[in-house]
Structure 1
Amino acid sequence: MSPTDPGPTTDQVVAAPTYLADIRFFFRPEDIDHMGQKGIELGTYDGVKSNALAIHAQTAPPDAQMPPDEAGKWSAERSQTFRNWIVNGFPLGTATPAGPPPPAPTTRVRKDITTLSDAEFAQLTTAFKGLMARDPKAPDSYFALAGHHGLPKRFCLHHENRYNPWHRQYLRVFEDALRTVPGCEEVTIPYWDISTKLPDRLQHPPFDAYVLPADPGADATPHPVPGFFPYTTKRFPVDTIAQNMIDFGVLDDIATSLVQSLWGAFNVNGYQDFSIQAHDGGHGSIGPTMGNQNVAAFDPVFWFYHCNLDRLWLSWQTRVGATTLTGFRSTLGSNTDWLTPPFNALPPYSVTADRTIETDISYDRLDLVSPVEGVLENLSGSIDAARTFAFRSANPVSVRVKGIDRLNIPGSFVVSLLADGEPVAKRYFFQPDDPRSCATCVQHGIVNIDFRLAHEQLLDRSLSVRIDVPGHAGASGTAFPLTQAGNPTINARLLAEEA
């Protein structure tokens, strides 16, 4: 079942339907487009809820006015299900895992780097060496393309709605450049599954390090940035990387992101919040280069790391029926502006955010769950009073360090949650050394860090917070004064779900 194929819910009455499990599948792309031209939103929960009575009146058989075509007319069973949804108070509900989709046309298949044949790996090596050998002033050189992310161009979008779309398009642009190297016309970027240790194949030239051939900070705007020339990318030892992934909660945040019913918003909830937090933690786990937004993309591991993140995003899209633009919009709630002009731009690329949702790139493996494993998650710290809700003993406690002024912090930083003075969890926040020079950082200057912890880790213990800036040790070590970080607060909430 998908938003373009309503499925069996059209033929039977559902007594207790929810939007995510049932109602969103009632609206075809043509229905959403047709009514959108009239100012009526049918593609999101908020839009359907606000127009629910009119929708019911217009679609109820036998004298339905909408949809206008006979093939789209609602059955009596569907109409009754929609009525039940209204009577029950418009429950949002949770998504049901969609399972593997039918095969879709793809132009490229990206593989786990450890499974590449020797010939495939040799071709990949040739492609990377070819880009690295190009004149750094050439727009399709390794140096120039890596410079899109941090210095000198700073095009990259982090900690906002276009983060995943921008990186998806960035990977394609880089992959296209690899394919311009003679003999590498069919190469694709493989992924590194970060639940495993850094593969041996990424620990040897040309993938272990990159020596910058020019100064990336010389032409940076609004002012030059010193300190990155001469420069060779650096990483932590393999075992340290693996331990950091655990310590920064990267794998936990990935697992949480993949069971979210909603796309959500960074610093709020849903897939996006936890996937971006996992992204940041992974950068900090790998090394001082990957942990610094100014130069992260110069480390060759960047491409394999981000390819895996794109694989995880496609995995989530597939799980919740969001591989089409219509299906994706149905997980957004009300904030869809970033999918429409001019807010959908992904500079410097001509492709826009909405055009990245449906992709012709596939992966040899997605992280999916079977529909028989049950619904996904939509836990929240607050629920409309008109609905019934429940606290489950198995649900974690949500602890949010709220209101961090990132613009005062000189570089990427670590937020540690302490219980009785001992760290129980920590998260890494990824940003440039001078966030005030980053336009995206300035637009999203106040940020939150989210932790999910078992009750027993917190009960009867005194909680406190510490911020450290690993790259900027001073008289007090790497600790950064909370008073200079906006005096953030700690918010702890039991997570509720609709009963």
Structure 2
Amino acid sequence: MTATENSAIVDQVVAAPTYLADIRFFFRPEDVDHMATKGIELGTYDGVRSNALAIHAQTAPPNAQMPPDAAGKWSAERSQTFRNWIVSGFPLGTVTPVEPPPDGQVPTRLRKDVTTLSDAEFDLLTAAFTGLMARPPEAADSYFVLAGKHGLPKRWCLHHEDRFIPWHRQYLRVFEDALRSVPGCEEVTLPYWDITTELPDRLQHPPFDEYVLPADPGAAVTPNPVTGLFPYTTQRFPVADIAQNMTGFEVLADLATSLSQSVWGASDVNGYQDFSIQAHDSGHGSIGPTMGNPNVASYDPVFWFFHCNLDRLWLSWQTRVGATTLTGFRTTLGQNTDWLTAPFNELPPFSATTEQMIETEVSYDRLDLVSPAEGVLENLSGSMEAARTFAFRSTDPVSVRVKGIHRLNIPGSFVVSLLADGETIAKRFFFQPDDPRECATCVHHGIVNIDFRMTQDRLLDRTLSVRIDVPGHAEKIGTAFPLTQAGSPTINARLLVQEA
């Protein structure tokens, strides 16, 4: 949404404006780009706040200097709203869900729920997967090579950092293009598996039920080849167990929390990104031993349908908060914008970059949206500037963070459980390779946190403890992993606060 599209904000004085609900719409893409060349950031909360007095002076009618064009000049009402925002202490606020724009054109790539595909569409998808899997394993566009970009032998995936979600959007596009390269499949698109439902029967039969690796994915790893993964056939848990695991790891709850966030946030910190990535990890661990191991997860055909759904949910969130354009997306960020610009925006091994992934020509047959009438989204946090008014509400959840886990000491994906009186009341799955010290991204983000949100009644007057398990090593070392060897993580428990 742009300022000109939001006439209610442009033409009426808002007595108690906030950045996310009002101020961010005051700056057009051309305004942001023009001032960026002068070293002034108008695209983010931190940038607008730090330049607020100068912005007000330069834009106030009747003798405004900025924007330089007549069409961009601020009305007296908008200027007064901006002044009110300054006087009230620059409140960040929360997002009021944005009404999605009407469909203006036929999408070039429409992805559908796999269960709703017609028989002809599903036959086409089957032919595309079969053709891709039949290609020689050394072919650059074979299923084996494409899956190997995420796991062994290449291990390009950028987990648990800002580029993670954009990386997967491009990865899906590359894989979808490969499906389209199969003769006769030029119009195929990748469907999604809505994980609020059980694993569809369609994904439990060839070629979607399993994949037999035609070559050793670990043999080409340098300097230390990875052994023990050949011969190898992908494995999943029974369908009922997958559904039970999704519930046990609270995957759907984390996804719901992610979609209710006003800001993009950061992995291990807050916002959409933190809860979406946490749900991603637990979803992987819920599905099976193959999906729970980054070295081989992408060889399981269900990987693509699972990640297609996560991309659908990201686009749902983008649409909710008015972040489907790069300019709109930047308004949901704070200071951390480097990953959208060179040289920090790369998505190896792809030529595409992070900022190019914000806008997409892909659409879905269904997005998870809410209307403005359903209220604002949340922006809860563990701390806030004392200069602001704030509130604790009895309905707000408690945040329990297991903080400072040294993941490099843990051999493989692991489960962090929160126990009350010896009973597991919450658990999360953390997705990482068996040898995290050999993964550059893991090393760069070697200390991680796990977040639990829950109502107070699940915690009060109970004896709490934390446990870490490494399920992939039950036969070698047992599942329990000593907390002292995981960096002796600490517990950060807090009531969440929001602006009043």
Coarse TM-score class (shorter-chain normalised) = over 0.9
Shift of 1:417: 0.2
Question: In the aligned structure 2, how far is the partner of 1:448 from the partner of 1:384?
Answer: 23
How much is the aligned-residue C-alpha RMSD, in angstroms?
Answer: 0.9
Q: Which amino acid aligns with 2:78?
A: R
1:208 partner SS: coil
What residue is the counterpart of 1:213 in the other structure? 214
| Contact kept? 2:3, 2:9, Cα under 8 Å | no
What residue is the counterpart of 1:29 in the other structure? 29
What residue is the counterpart of 2:191 in the other structure? 190
What residue is the counterpart of 1:236 in the other structure? 237
What residue is the counterpart of 1:406 in the other structure? 407
Identity %: 80
Q: Which amino acid aligns with 2:352?
A: V
Shift of 1:468: 0.2
Q: Mapping of 1:82-481 within 5 angstroms? A: 82-105=82-105, 106-473=107-474, 477-481=478-482
Question: In the aligned structure 2, how far is the partner of 1:222 from the partner of 1:377?
Answer: 47
| Contact kept? 1:209, 1:234, Cα under 8 Å | yes
Shift of 1:487: 0.2
Per-residue CA deviation, residues 436-477 of structure 1 (Å, 9 max, x unaligned), is: 000000000000000001100000111110000000025773
Pair 1:77 & 2:86 matched: no
Question: In the aligned structure 2, how far is the partner of 1:375 from the partner of 1:401?
Answer: 29
| Contact kept? 1:3, 1:326, Cα under 8 Å | no
Per-residue CA deviation, residues 313-364 of structure 1 (Å, 9 max, x unaligned), is: 0000000000000000000111110000010000011110000100000000
Question: In the aligned structure 1, how far is the partner of 2:104 from the partner of 2:355?
Answer: 19
Per-residue CA deviation, residues 255-303 of structure 1 (Å, 9 max, x unaligned), is: 0000000000001100000000000000000000000000000000000
| Contact kept? 1:404, 1:448, Cα under 8 Å | yes
Question: In the aligned structure 2, how far is the partner of 1:129 from the partner of 1:478?
Answer: 37
Q: Which amino acid aligns with 2:81?
A: T
Shift of 1:6: 4.0
Question: In the aligned structure 2, how far is the partner of 1:130 from the partner of 1:390?
Answer: 58
Q: Which amino acid aligns with 2:92?
A: L
| Contact kept? 1:222, 1:437, Cα under 8 Å | no
Question: In the aligned structure 2, how far is the partner of 1:131 from the partner of 1:242?
Answer: 29
Q: Which amino acid aligns with 2:66?
A: M
Question: In the aligned structure 1, how far is the partner of 2:381 from the partner of 2:277?
Answer: 18
What residue is the counterpart of 2:67 in the other structure? 67
Question: In the aligned structure 2, how far is the partner of 1:100 from the partner of 1:227?
Answer: 49
Per-residue CA deviation, residues 186-245 of structure 1 (Å, 9 max, x unaligned), is: 000000000000000000000000000000000113410001100000000000000100
What residue is the counterpart of 1:39 in the other structure? 39
| Contact kept? 1:469, 1:478, Cα under 8 Å | yes
1:350 partner SS: strand
1:424 partner SS: strand
Shift of 1:5: 3.2
Shift of 1:249: 1.1
What residue is the counterpart of 1:9 in the other structure? 9
Shift of 1:101: 2.2
Using a 3 Å threshold, how does the CA distance of structure 1 residues 125 and 288 change in structure 2: closer, same or farther? same
Q: TM-score, normalised by structure 2?
A: 0.99
Question: In the aligned structure 2, how far is the partner of 1:374 from the partner of 1:89?
Answer: 23
Per-residue CA deviation, residues 43-96 of structure 1 (Å, 9 max, x unaligned), is: 000000000000000000000000000000000000000000000000000000
Q: Which amino acid aligns with 2:64?
A: A
1:423 partner SS: strand
Q: Which amino acid aligns with 1:286?
A: I
1:253 partner SS: helix
Mean CA deviation greater in 364-373 or 475-484: 475-484
Question: In the aligned structure 1, how far is the partner of 2:338 from the partner of 2:483?
Answer: 34
Shift of 1:7: 2.9
| Contact kept? 1:4, 1:29, Cα under 8 Å | no
Shift of 1:4: 6.9
Question: In the aligned structure 1, how far is the partner of 2:51 from the partner of 2:94?
Answer: 21
Q: Which amino acid aligns with 2:14?
A: V
Question: In the aligned structure 2, how far is the partner of 1:363 from the partner of 1:12?
Answer: 35
Question: In the aligned structure 2, how far is the partner of 1:30 from the partner of 1:261?
Answer: 24
Using a 3 Å threshold, how does the CA distance of structure 1 residues 115 and 85 change in structure 2: closer, same or farther? same
Using a 3 Å threshold, how does the CA distance of structure 1 residues 2 and 244 change in structure 2: closer, same or farther? farther
Question: In the aligned structure 1, how far is the partner of 2:357 from the partner of 2:104?
Answer: 15
| Contact kept? 2:4, 2:10, Cα under 8 Å | no
Question: In the aligned structure 2, how far is the partner of 1:47 from the partner of 1:445?
Answer: 30
Shift of 1:100: 2.2
Question: In the aligned structure 1, how far is the partner of 2:116 from the partner of 2:409?
Answer: 44
Structure 1: gaps of 5 or more residues: none
Q: TM-score, normalised by structure 1?
A: 0.99
2:273 partner SS: helix
2:451 partner SS: strand
